[in-house]
Amino acid sequence: MPLNRPRATTVTACHDCDQLNTTVQLAPREKSICSRCGNILDRGGKEVLARTLAYALASLVLLIVANSFPFMEFKIAGRVQVAHLYTGVEQLYAEGYWELAAMVLFTSIAAPLVMISGLLALTIPISMGKRFDWMIRLGKIVTKLRVWSMMEVFLLGVIVSVMKLSAMAEIIFGPGLVAFAALILTSSASIAAFNPVPFWEYMDKGRSP
Which pLDDT score, from 0 to 100, does residue 4 have?
47
Which pLDDT score, from 0 to 100, does residue 3 have?
42
Summarised one tens digit per residue, pLDDT across range 159-174 is 777 677 667 777 788 8
Question: Per-residue b/e over 141-177, b at no fewer than 16 CB within 10 Å?
Answer: ebbebbeebbbeebbeebeeeeeeeeeebebeebebb
Average pLDDT, the chain: 77
Q: Say yes or no: domain 47-205 is CATH 1.20.140.
A: yes
Q: Quote the CA–CA distance of 208 and 174 in Å, as a whole number.
A: 42
Element (H, E) at 11: strand 9-13
Which pLDDT score, from 0 to 100, does residue 52 have?
85
Which pLDDT score, from 0 to 100, does residue 2 have?
44
Residues of the chain with pLDDT under 70: 1-9, 15, 25-29, 42-48, 146-155, 157, 162, 165-166, 195-198, 201-202, 204-209
3-state secondary structure (DSSP) of residue 31: strand
- Domain extents for the chain? 1-45, 47-205
Burial class (CB in 10 A: 0-12, 13-18, 19+), 183: buried
Which pLDDT score, from 0 to 100, does residue 61 have?
94
Strands 20-24 and 31-33: unpaired
Which pLDDT score, from 0 to 100, does residue 209 have?
47
